A and B are shown apart, each in its own frame.
Chain A
Amino acid sequence: MAKILIIDDDPDLIDTYSIILTNNGYEVLSALNGEEGLVKIKNDKPDLIVLDVMMNTDYEGFEVARKIREDMKLLRLPIIMLSGIHEVKKVRYRFAPDETYLPVDIWLDKPVEPDVFLEIIRTALSDMPQQTG
């Protein structure tokens, strides 16, 4: 059973996605901020991260992604960034996965339909067979 860690400051979102994921056979862990998330990555060794951007600070998720890749050297741990920042900040540019500057595998704008979310999780995990539990 693959273990998924959701890092998001919105407990309702965590609840919703936890139900969807557990109903589909995944084990779900959660953290309400980056610091807590990084501890759980170290201790619980999840197979995939779902990471928000705007938490304690506006760009906390960006820093967390960089820490996972650069400081923790977890280069092959799949990260799905799930954020509403484009809508909230009304920016006219777009953030997108970038090996150097935004080291995540997939960017998703909130909200995401459950079936789309599940398909993306499945694909991300199947691309990383050595990571699945």
Chain B
Amino acid sequence: MATEKSDVVVLGGSAAGLTAAITAHRQYPEKSVVIIRKEAKVLIPCGIPYIFGTVGTPEKNLVPDAVLDKNKIKLIVGEAEKIDTENKTVKLAGGDEVVYEKLIVATGSLPAMPPIPGFDKENVWAIHKDVELLRGIQGKLKDVKDLVIVGGGFIGIEFADECKKAGVENVSIVELLPHCLMLAFDEEFAVEAEKVLIERGIKLVTGVKVLEFAGGKKVESVKLGNGEELKADAVIMGIGAVANVKMAKKSGLKLGPTGAIEVNRYLAASDPDVFACGDCAEKVSFFGGRSSPLKLASIAASEARIAGANLFGLRRENIGTIGVWGTAIGDFALSCAGLTESMAKEAGYDFVIGEAEGPNRHPGTMPGAENVKVKLTFERRTGVLLGAQMMGGSVVGELINVMSACIQKKMTIDDIAVFQIGTHPALTASPIAYQVVNAAEMAFMKTKK
């Protein structure tokens, strides 16, 4: 049994763990930093669906370990079994121990499995962030003719499109809500996304519950609440994720309302020398502060930059989860930040909407011109931006990040309308018809009604 010591120990090596370790090194260069992670190789979480089509293999979707050396982070590949908070020691499987001064728990999440009858049949797959497992699924997928994906969120539609690209003949998505992507977008955006999915040969069955995975030992069909039965050689579950907290719970760390590790605004856990960030940590919404179930790698990385900075003195505060998303189906991209119109309505806001649409080049006959639609939601009385949705060309993937900054800084209709933008015919929309600015102007007009 070996005992090691490090000033900072991080459990987990994915988006949260790696970013937290790098941040700890940058903020406290005099401190030693160790990452303990279970996986020999770490997958880029959001890249997992693309292994099956665009990227080709799990090995082409890995976080490079070179970044560890560059940031003087020591790596231990091993499984942390328990945190002894009293003696500030992490006990590893096999008996080794690592003593810490400060600890960051970033153990991520595990896929959620809804216990639909037949969920334990062969070829009903939950997607784990595990190279071997994904390689196994990829191998089996070669023999799959009929694939059913349960869940029409981001993961579901990305898997559907990539599996189609990989050559699966019949790909269906079953979604309980009236449309795919409805937890992130208003209906008109979701409907446009669905049109593109259908054009690309994906069958959509929405507003329907899955009743059973039928068959023998292996799944053969999926029985639906509308009486339909979809043939299925395989099923991919895209329902969501659950915080991976078994070890944290065993170690006596307090859990919060969603079953994740309880943290404060500085991402400190219930023990004074332990922090937690990423999918394994509780989140609150930027809007109103209620518990938030969102789990995204981008949120994890942001939290990691807070936790890493606060280890030896509270420097950064978590403002809560805004929720910034993006996806692409072929050349069609969608993105959103903050509250949609329907979310704002549900939360009880009095709001106005502003919309604008146009090409992202000027004139629209310039090469590379693509249509972009922008929808902004503002609080009526203060004019503060609550949310943004975009669809069209790939520019919406980055433009939404600008909108997230505007939300974070509580910018108003007027702030955005007088935005000092830089434009160029070959690069952007025209200064006169810049969609974000015009959407704010449209919202302003509605405040006068």
Contact = CB atoms under 8 A, between A and B. Distances in A.
B122 to A, nearest CB: 14
A86 B244 CA distance: 12
A120 to B, nearest CB: 10
Contacts of A109: 246, 249
Interface residues on A, range: 10 to 19
Given A100-B176, A107-B259, A109-B246, A95 B113 contact: yes
Interface in A97-121: 98, 100-102, 106-107, 109
Contacts of B112: 93-96, 98
B192 to A, nearest CB: 26
A15 B209 CA distance: 39
Contacts of A86: 246
Given A59-B115, A101-B114, A109-B246, A93 B259 contact: no
B128 A102 contact: no
Given A62-B115, A109-B246, A109-B249, A92 B239 contact: no
Interface residues of B, number: 23
B116 to A, nearest CB: 6
B259 A98 contact: no
B246 A92 contact: no
> Most chain-B CB neighbours within 10 Å: which of A94, A95, A106, A109?
A94
A88 to B, nearest CB: 13
Contacts of A107: 259
A91 interface: yes
A96 B255 CA distance: 15
B210 to A, nearest CB: 8
A62 B118 CA distance: 12
B115 A94 contact: no
Contacts of B133: 92
B126 A100 contact: no
B53 interface: no
Contacts of B176: 100
B259 A102 contact: no
B191 interface: no
Given A92-B128, A93-B126, A94-B110, A101 B246 contact: no
A62 B212 CA distance: 13
A94 B279 CA distance: 14
Interface string B224-239: 0000000000000101
A94 B242 contact: yes
A59 B246 CA distance: 21
Given A92-B128, A94-B110, A101 B115 contact: yes
B128 A98 contact: no
Contacts of A92: 110-111, 126, 128, 130, 133
A95 B115 contact: yes
B209 A91 contact: no
A28 to B, nearest CB: 24
Nearest to A89: B120
B110 A100 contact: no
A122 B48 CA distance: 41
Nearest to A94: B242
A96 B209 contact: no
Contact of B113 (A91, A100, A106): A91
Given A93-B128, A96-B242, A102 B110 contact: no
A96 B111 contact: no
A100 B128 CA distance: 23
A29 to B, nearest CB: 25
Given A109-B246, A109-B249, A93 B111 contact: yes
Given A92-B126, A93-B128, A107-B259, A102 B249 contact: no
Contact of A98 (B114, B117, B130, B246): B114
A101 B112 CA distance: 11
A102 B242 CA distance: 14
Contacts of B237: 93
Contacts of B117: 59
A95 B259 CA distance: 12
Given A107-B259, A109-B249, A102 B126 contact: no
Given A107-B259, A109-B246, A109-B249, A94 B209 contact: no
Interface string B206-221: 0001100000000000
A71 to B, nearest CB: 15
A10 B237 CA distance: 32
A51 to B, nearest CB: 13
Contacts of A62: 115
A93 B115 contact: no
Interface string B95-137: 0000000000000001111111100000000101010010000
A54 B128 CA distance: 24
Interface in B170-218: 176, 209-210
B259 A96 contact: yes
Nearest to B127: A93
A86, A92, A96, A106 — which one has the most chain B CB atoms within 10 A of its CB?
Answer: A96
A106 B259 CA distance: 9
11 contacts: A93-B110, A93-B112, A94-B110, A94-B111, A94-B112, A94-B113, A95-B114, A95-B115, A96-B242, A100-B176, A101-B210
Given A92-B110, A93-B110, A101-B210, 6 more contacts: A62-B115, A86-B246, A92-B133, A93-B111, A93-B112, A93-B113
